[in-house]
């Protein structure tokens, strides 16, 4: 697919945006905003602002693309007055691309249409800090992969020092089906879960608040296209089914997880909450940041083989703001999506290889992303070797697992040749277990 003109690195906007901000005109990620007066609207982020797509459509700014993309024309303007991106996703890639390009044209420095109309600017452009940023999609399903070789090896070593990687791992992207019902947007407080676990050295399990609450540094892709029961997606078409990427924190209760997971995998140690960032960065916007990835040995089976650059280099940082802290958040981990062994295209193709339908709005998370160095480990289970070696932080702070009141923040951005595309952030604060 040819590069979108909205990616032109020389573009700049009439809105003032610093080079270190996440949302320059080359990004334009999609999300859902809400105010008490307007209710929910679809929007794209530009600098510190949100461009209200419903307001733009009502002013006729999308009339010309509505002619070019009939599915979009039939859905305007109502498709932008929704509580999630789902209906917009179902319009397909030509509609996603046309709207991003029309928004880009409206916002570029030399287009007076919106720029010089003060009343329209007040109507269409809202400060992000003045609106609620809602969960961008309503996922019917959520799948969590396990696609980082370093993470799978490190976790495997904790349980099986001699044989960390199971025999299937290099042949298929391992995953489990999670719960879509507990996926929350950034800023939602996370209640420490209660559950059954077996304290170290004891025979019998107990029930109570988890003592080993952890985060998992992940990204997730948003499925853009619904497939039919029995339909499979060939790997060279897989990316047409992917709308974009967001940041994902897969909160995990390690004590509950380690007691319950055999033989059928993660269950209540995971399903109490996962947090997502509010803005979905499109694959179009990420196009300049493609990389080859780590290489696969042995070669996967033919249905999972795909030449070329199938990975993206997105820098990811996990930060901790300890309970009661007034200092700046502490960086716990810095890693990159380029370390992932399995690509999103491989994950999607494998997911549909048995004919199981995907639904537009579904989320597929990467699994914890760890790199090869101690500073690039994506969860406390790894950073503290199963809780046995506390992290020493500034101010005499020792960290094993999360405490009530701790805030965890995940940030992500891609940067190349002076162009920076951010994913924004996802944060959550731990609340005490229910009384
Ligand atoms: Mn996970």
Q: Which secondary-structure segment (H or E) carries 95?
A: helix 93-107
Compute the distance between CA of residue 369 and CA of residue 218 in angstroms, rounded to an integer: 6
Which pLDDT score, from 0 to 100, does residue 1 have?
57
Whether 151 is catalytic? yes
Distance between Cα 176 and ligand 1 center (Å): 9
Q: 135 CB contacts (<8 Å, ≥6 apart)?
A: 32, 84, 183, 184, 185, 276, 278
- Across the range 94-99, mean pLDDT stands at 98
Which pLDDT score, from 0 to 100, does residue 163 have?
86
Which pLDDT score, from 0 to 100, does residue 42 have?
98
Residue among 12, 109, 151, 311 flagged as catalytic: 151
| 8 Å CB contact between 276 and 363 | yes
- Across the range 118-126, mean pLDDT stands at 98
CATH of domain 5-134: 2.30.30.230
DSSP string computed for 341-402: SS-HHHHHHHHHTT-PPP-TT-EEE------SSGGG--SHHHHTTTTTSPEEETTTEEESSP
Which pLDDT score, from 0 to 100, does residue 160 have?
85
- 157-196 tens-digit pLDDT: 988 888 899 999 999 999 999 999 999 999 999 999 999 9
Distance between Cα 250 and ligand 1 center (Å): 5
Distance between Cα 266 and ligand 1 center (Å): 9
- 255-305 tens-digit pLDDT: 999 999 999 999 999 999 999 999 999 999 999 999 999 999 999 999 999
Distance between Cα 34 and ligand 1 center (Å): 29
- Across the range 352-365, mean pLDDT stands at 98
Instruction: Tell me the pLDDT band of 393, cut-offs 50, 70 and 90.
Output: confident
Distance between Cα 368 and ligand 1 center (Å): 5
Phi/psi at 209 (5° precision): -60, 135
Which pLDDT score, from 0 to 100, does residue 394 have?
83
Which pLDDT score, from 0 to 100, does residue 274 have?
98
Compute the distance between CA of residue 285 and CA of residue 299 in angstroms, rounded to an integer: 29
| 8 Å CB contact between 276 and 426 | yes
Instruction: Tell me the pLDDT band of 414, cut-offs 50, 70 and 90.
Output: very high
- 318-356 tens-digit pLDDT: 999 999 888 889 999 999 999 999 999 999 999 999 999
pLDDT mean across residues, the chain: 96
Distance between Cα 136 and ligand 1 center (Å): 20
Question: Is residue 100 scored above 90 in pLDDT?
Answer: yes
Q: 334 CB contacts (<8 Å, ≥6 apart)?
A: 315, 316, 317, 318, 375, 376
Give the CATH fold of the 142-431 domain. Answer: Fumarylacetoacetate hydrolase; domain 2 (3.90.850)
Q: Shortest CA distance to 126 belongs to which of 32, 199, 254? A: 32
Q: Give domain limits for the chain.
A: 5-134, 142-431
């Amino acid at each position: 697919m040819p590069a979108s003109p909205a990616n032109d690195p020389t573009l700049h906007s009439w809105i003032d945006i610093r080079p270190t901000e996440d949302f320059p005109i080359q990004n334009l990620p999609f999300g859902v905003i809400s105010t008490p007066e307007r209710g929910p609207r679809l929007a794209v982020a530009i600098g510190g602002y949100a461009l209200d797509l419903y307001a733009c459509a009502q002013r006729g700014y999308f009339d010309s693309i509505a002619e070019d993309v009939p599915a979009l024309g039939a859905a305007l303007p109502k498709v932008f007055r929704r509580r999630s991106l789902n209906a917009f996703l179902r319009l397909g890639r030509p509609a996603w691309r046309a709207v991003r390009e029309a928004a880009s044209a409206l916002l570029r420095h030399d287009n007076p249409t919106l720029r010089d109309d003060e009343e329209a600017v007040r109507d269409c452009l809202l400060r992000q800090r003045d609106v609620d940023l809602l969960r961008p999609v309503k996922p019917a399903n959520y799948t969590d992969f396990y696609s980082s070789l370093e993470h799978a090896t490190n976790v495997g070593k904790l349980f099986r020092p001699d044989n960390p990687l199971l025999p299937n791992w290099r042949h298929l992207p391992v995953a489990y089906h999670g719960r879509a019902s507990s996926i929350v947007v950034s800023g939602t407080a996370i209640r420490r879960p209660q559950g059954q676990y077996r304290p170290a050295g004891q025979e019998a399990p107990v029930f109570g608040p988890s003592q080993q609450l952890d985060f998992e540094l992940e990204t997730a892709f948003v499925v853009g296209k619904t497939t039919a029961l029995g339909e499979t997606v060939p790997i060279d078409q897989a990316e047409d089914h992917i709308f974009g990427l967001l940041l994902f924190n897969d909160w995990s209760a390690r004590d509950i997880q380690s007691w319950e997971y055999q033989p059928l995998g993660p269950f209540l140690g995971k399903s109490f909450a996962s947090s997502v960032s509010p803005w979905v960065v499109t694959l179009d916007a990420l196009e300049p940041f493609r990389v080859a990835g780590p290489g696969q040995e042995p070669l996967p089976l033919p249905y999972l083989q795909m030449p070329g650059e199938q990975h993206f280099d997105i820098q990811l940082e996990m930060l901790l703001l300890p309970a009661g802290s007034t200092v700046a958040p502490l960086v716990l981990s810095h890693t990159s999506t380029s370390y992932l062994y399995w690509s999103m295209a491989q994950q999607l193709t494998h997911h549909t290889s048995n004919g199981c339908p995907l639904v537009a709005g579904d989320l597929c998370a990467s699994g914890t992303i760890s790199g090869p160095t101690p500073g690039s480990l994506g969860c406390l289970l790894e950073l503290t070797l199963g809780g046995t070696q506390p992290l020493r932080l500034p101010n005499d702070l020792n960290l094993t697992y999360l405490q009530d009141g701790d805030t965890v923040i995940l940030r992500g951005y891609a940067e190349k040749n002076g162009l920076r595309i951010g994913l924004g952030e996802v944060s959550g604060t731990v609340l005490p277990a229910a009384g």
